[in-house]
Structure 1
Amino acid sequence: MNPPASTLVHDIGELVTADPGAGGGPLGVLRDAAVAFDGGRVVWIGADGSRAPACDTAVDAAGRCLLPGFVDSHAHLVFAGDRAEEFTARMTGRPYAAGGIRTTVAATRAATDEELRANLRRLLAEMTRQGTTTVECKSGYGLTPAQEERAVRIAAEETDEVTFLGAHVVPPEYDGDAAGYVRAVTGDMLAACAPHARWIDVFCERGAFDGEQTRAVLEAGAAAGLTPRVHAGQLGEGPGVRLAVELGAASADHCTFLSDADVAALASSETVATLLPAVEFSTRQPYPDARRLLDAGAAVALATDCNPGSGYSSSMAFCVALAVREMRMTPAEAVLAATAGGARALRRADVGRLSVGARADAHLIDAPSHVHLAYRPGVPLTAAVWKAGVRRV
């Protein structure tokens, strides 16, 4: 494959580097700037009109805002069917519960590989059109060794950030035998899935897996070379956050219900609190208290949790707007959490920022400032998207 053509984007009114050392404020903002991409990387950043390198293509940003591509560090995209009826019932008063996942398990098991692949690609394209350039993708809707292996294998065709989530819920064939299912997850299922995955995750929640079961799955995954992530604190307080910190998880995700000890544990660790406000929008649960986490010194990321049940949105811009409106984040904090924060949750230093050496993932919006992502919610602001220096939008 030929390397992408070099590109100079100039006349950028506001360049968000997401690198505080590169410019002003927490977002590292540069005004009246230009940036050059070559070989899939950022090779130069400077003042517009200064000595930019010669490039094959020049793009006039016309005073608009350029920011890093969004990093969506929590999504469930290998599935079939939808749960629109469940959503409708929830909007009329039925509470969200973990058991609805089984509906998607049945549809996913019945789907062909090509149907799953086509749906995955459709959702990834939808994300790209909205400025997302890095996506984590979980399994969790197969729940047998063959079905979970199929899910992570298909996901790995499209992203390097693949998570084995066999411990999503206990499937119907193991009703009354959660311990037996955990043995299956940590045995044949893990052996089949580990070669295709980077991460291992557990839904540590009432109605899913308790602390002891979560520990068993995460420790087995770590022994197989996978790094932990944890669904924690979505439906109530529990052991998930502190297990995530103890076991060196890259992230604890949801974090809707946290004790003071949970917040302190996150603030004193490298584990990122990944917040998923589109889920609260869809389930009518309380929103996470991002302000509490940030003020304590915890690292925070935003992600969509795009899935057919608890939150079927692929829009990181929507999550930014919700974080500002409902979670007491400033626009700068929310944009940083959706870019560099997501990268940190994936332990990536090459994405989520625009600085020399980073992957050339960039999102040009039809607005003069990053603030407009929250200021104009629901408006399709994306004007152009580059991934590894290749223009995708």
Structure 2
Amino acid sequence: MTITALTGISQLVTNDPGVETPAAGHHAPLGVITDAAVVFDDTRVLWRGPERELPEGFADAVVDVGGRSVMPGFVDSHAHLAFAGDRADEFAARMAGQSYSAGGIRSTVANTRAASDEQLAANVRRLRDEALAQGTTTLESKSGYGLSVLDERRSLEVIGRFTAESTFLGAHVVPPEFADRPDDYVSLVAGEMLDACAPHAKWIDVFCDRGAFDVDAARTILTAGIAAGLAPRIHAGQLEQGGGIQLAVELGAASADHVTYASDADIEALASSSTVATLLPGAEFSTRARYPDARRFLDAGVTVALAADCNPGSSYTTSIPFCIAVAVRDMLMTPGEAVWAATAGGAAALRRTDVGSLRVGAAPDLLVLDAPSYLHLAYRPGVPLVRSVWRGGAVVSSRAS
């Protein structure tokens, strides 16, 4: 087992506020250490602090990052990677003025059902690698484009090859063959489909919104999933204000995602719960919808995460740096708040304590930025700042100068 030290770090983001360099002047929960070093093996962070305090001879290998900044790997807690085809024409139509609705999901279902397992796996692998190169070291992915017992199960089997954070989303929309029998589809999802999919998933999710599933159907499905041993999360409040956020709190969901339309009562309920509000700026960007006001959540004390929502219809991006820049520009977050939400916030949305920080004992998943500060993620939008990505204590992606 090799012990590695990264030195020459201009700013080290630890997400451990107890080690904040007093004069750093940054978002306190980031735990920024200036002129820093971090030491890790292949399983955990062993030490981090000012480089001048680095114990001599502690590491087997020393890597000088040359005045660059280092931070935890991004934790993307919301993605839909198991699909086939794309919806570029739909995107173009939206940019020409057509509104977005949940019904567009059905156009991906036929392509996904027709794809082989290996074709689905190739797409998940491509998008996983794309995300990794941009700094995402922990990634969740949902099913939801099969919408049959067979296709949902095999989607989850494919997802399981690439991440342990797999989510059963049979309740994405009602498929065409059940258009006149939505109650029968709810029974299928909560019954036979759940039985087939639960062994291959960690989470269960429902799209609780206009054009998808109402609160009663969502409660039925999520409650069945909980009984089957899956942990709940929910899509809520993307298209209109409804009862999805309150349902998430009622059921102890790990996260309520989108939450673009949230009442004061919704925010109060989130603030008094352990449910994370996961904001997905890529969806608003790609649908020309209104952005959620992150300040309402943050100022109320809600735990906030940022995720990319990679999917072929409403947010075809794997770039968390892009999402950070949009959140700062259009959702009233500070750069520090956005970085925390994309790392520690994402970890909270997955109920993980081993990722999203560089505390001693945390997983050695981190990235090196071609910049002296994390501030550049929002300050230099669209620029490929992620120079190298480390996961499990080893370099898994790097970009030459």
Q: Aligned equivalents of 2:46 and 2:161: distance in 1?
A: 28
Match of 2:20 among 14, 18, 23: 23
Matched, 1:10 2:7: yes
Runs of 4 or more off by more than 6 Å in structure 1?
none
The letter for the 2-side match of 1:7 is: T
Partner of 1:251: 255
The letter for the 2-side match of 1:40 is: T
Q: Aligned equivalents of 1:56 and 1:188: distance in 2?
A: 53
Which secondary structure state, in structure 1, belongs to the residue aligned with residue 30 of structure 2?
coil
Partner of 2:359: 355
Partner of 2:155: 151
Shift of the alpha carbon at 1:20? 1.4
Match of 2:303 among 275, 299, 302: 299
Q: Is the 8 A contact 2:42 2:394 kept in 1?
A: no
Partner of 2:185: 181
Q: Aligned equivalents of 1:268 and 1:217: distance in 2?
A: 24
Q: Is the 8 A contact 2:174 2:212 kept in 1?
A: yes
Shift of the alpha carbon at 1:53? 4.9
Q: Aligned equivalents of 2:322 and 2:388: distance in 1?
A: 18
Q: Aligned equivalents of 2:150 and 2:356: distance in 1?
A: 34
The correspondence of residues 1-393 of structure 1 with structure 2, limited to 5 A, is: 5-24=2-21, 25-49=28-52, 50-51=54-55, 53-393=57-397
Which secondary structure state, in structure 1, belongs to the residue aligned with residue 266 of structure 2?
helix
1:112-135 CA distance string (max 9 Å, x none): 000000110000000010000000
> Residues 351 and 189 from structure 1, CA distance in 2 versus in 1: closer, same or farther, beyond 3 angstroms?
same
Q: Is the 8 A contact 1:44 1:52 kept in 2?
A: no
1:70-108 CA distance string (max 9 Å, x none): 000000000000000000000000000000001111100
Q: Aligned equivalents of 1:53 and 1:64: distance in 2?
A: 23
Q: Aligned equivalents of 1:195 and 1:43: distance in 2?
A: 35
Q: Aligned equivalents of 2:242 and 2:128: distance in 1?
A: 32
Q: Aligned equivalents of 2:274 and 2:340: distance in 1?
A: 17
| Identity within the alignment, % | 62
Which secondary structure state, in structure 2, belongs to the residue aligned with residue 291 of structure 1?
helix
Q: Is the 8 A contact 1:75 1:305 kept in 2?
A: yes
1:169-215 CA distance string (max 9 Å, x none): 00011011110000000111101111111100000011000000000
Which secondary structure state, in structure 2, belongs to the residue aligned with residue 392 of structure 1?
strand
1:12-39 CA distance string (max 9 Å, x none): 0100001112224221000111011113
1:29-59 CA distance string (max 9 Å, x none): 0011101111321111122143155333221
* Number of residue equivalences: 390
Q: Aligned equivalents of 2:92 and 2:50: distance in 1?
A: 51
CA RMSD of aligned residues (A): 0.9
1:213-243 CA distance string (max 9 Å, x none): 0000000000000010000000000010000
TM-score with structure 2 length normalisation?
0.96
* Larger displacement relative to structure 2 (51-60 or 28-37): 51-60
> Residues 11 and 182 from structure 1, CA distance in 2 versus in 1: closer, same or farther, beyond 3 angstroms?
same
> Residues 172 and 7 from structure 1, CA distance in 2 versus in 1: closer, same or farther, beyond 3 angstroms?
same
Q: Aligned equivalents of 1:192 and 1:81: distance in 2?
A: 25
Which secondary structure state, in structure 2, belongs to the residue aligned with residue 143 of structure 1?
coil
The letter for the 1-side match of 2:8 is: D
Q: Is the 8 A contact 1:301 1:337 kept in 2?
A: yes
Q: Aligned equivalents of 1:34 and 1:280: distance in 2?
A: 38
Which secondary structure state, in structure 2, belongs to the residue aligned with residue 21 of structure 1?
helix
Q: Is the 8 A contact 1:137 1:159 kept in 2?
A: yes
Q: Structure 1: which 5+ runs fail to align?
A: none
Partner of 2:24: none
Q: Aligned equivalents of 1:222 and 1:368: distance in 2?
A: 45
Shift of the alpha carbon at 1:359? 0.3
Q: Aligned equivalents of 2:4 and 2:124: distance in 1?
A: 29
Which secondary structure state, in structure 1, belongs to the residue aligned with residue 29 of structure 2?
coil
> Residues 88 and 47 from structure 1, CA distance in 2 versus in 1: closer, same or farther, beyond 3 angstroms?
same
